[in-house]
Amino acid sequence: MDIFLQQLINGLVLGSVYALVALGYTMVYGILELINFAHGEITMMGAMVALAVIGALALAAPGLPGVLVLGAGLVVAIPVCVALGLVIERVAYRPLRHAPRLAPLITAIGVSIILQNVAMLIWGKQYIPFPAVLPQGRHTFHGAAITDVQIAILLLATAIMLMLILVVQKTRLGRAMRATAQSRQVASLMGVDVNRVIAATFAIGSALAAVAGVMVSAYYGLAHYYMGFLLGLKAFSAAVLGGIGNLGGAMLGGLLLGLIESFGAGYIGDLTGGFLGSNYQDVFAFFVLIAVLVFRPSGLLGARGVERA
């Protein structure tokens, strides 16, 4: 029971990080039908910028409380990532908006490679330690352990997701986003500034990515120029699993993927009597993905054509 509970916590924490990143993929896809492969790298940039700020603060004003330092890192990382998202949209995607769908996909991959290499040039190839700025407290109940950092990740992720749903469902911007997702032409005929809505979508997605990047780095205690790649791939899979283009789907897909990975790696060896080991954990996760897509090609919550984003 304690192991089950622990794997549940592991899965939920991992899953909520995947969900946050998956939201960025799904929002952009919902509106533009574009897979923004640079999204994982924006996550990495968020972590790197926050790390630089935290490092500078540690030199300039040692002794500040950790939460404040991390907050300062976030306050700088979010606008930097938002600006980065806006620039990428303006330079790499907007000129290609009426080009064949393959073209922006390729620029997306190009942007992702450029961002990785820029980060490598600025911060180097080595793994960078992320200082333990958050309280390192541990709590145990029924034999399972949860740390302060994990609790913070769960709370922050939940709060951000609720806020995002409110924005999309209740605000004017949200209504414009939903309208643009349904039909760009009709929305623009109704007086919606489509370019502004798309830019806003990129801005919100990049801000989420920045938060996710900082959370991941703080949690694992390190940052690396390549960290966005695997995280982006997993989050993209989560978005597809839940139904790409659907906000609830990205959240569900992220949590599910986290839980599948966690329980898969934890129990696969015991369930198969050692025939399959934890080296099959990714196989297991992607097997579930394929199975879902075979029976529900548009993902778990994917709508068929209407009411995306």
| Residue 205 burial (10 A CB sphere; 0-12, 13-18, 19+) | buried
* Cβ-based nearer residue to other proteins, 4 or 248: 4
Shortest reach from residue 24's CB to other proteins, in Å: 20
Q: Taking the CA of residue 191 as centre, how many other CA atoms within 13 Å lie in the half-sphere pointing to its CB?
A: 1
* Cβ-based nearer residue to other proteins, 134 or 244: 134
Shortest reach from residue 25's CB to other proteins, in Å: 20
* Helix 102-123 with 39-60: angle, nearest 10 deg: 20
Q: Is the dihedral of CA 140, 145, 148, 153 positive or negative?
A: negative
**What stretch of H or E contains 223?**
strand 222-223
* Cβ-based nearer residue to other proteins, 64 or 144: 144
Chain contacts with other proteins (rule: CB under 8 A): 3, 6-7, 10-11, 13-14, 126-127, 129, 131-132, 138, 140, 145, 147, 150, 216, 220-222, 224, 226-227, 230, 261-267, 269-270, 277-279, 281
Q: How far apart are CA 42 and CA 229, in angstroms?
A: 10
The partner residues of 143 in beta bridges, in order of sequence, read none
Q: Tell me the DSSP string of 68-111.
A: HHHHHHHHHHHHHHHHHHHHHIIIIIGGGTTS-THHHHHHHHHH
* Cβ-based nearer residue to other proteins, 176 or 212: 212
Shortest reach from residue 113's CB to other proteins, in Å: 17
* Cβ-based nearer residue to other proteins, 88 or 227: 227
* Cβ-based nearer residue to other proteins, 6 or 206: 6
Shortest reach from residue 129's CB to other proteins, in Å: 5
Whether the Cβ atoms of residue 213 and residue 43 lie closer than 8 Å to each other: yes
Shortest reach from residue 147's CB to other proteins, in Å: 5
* Tokens at 208, concatenated: 């989420």
* Cβ-based nearer residue to other proteins, 221 or 297: 221
Rg (CA), the chain: 20
Please name the residue that has the structure tokens 């075979």: 294
Shortest reach from residue 230's CB to other proteins, in Å: 6
Shortest reach from residue 216's CB to other proteins, in Å: 8
Q: Give the start-end residues of each E strand in 99-210.
A: 128-129, 138-141, 144-147
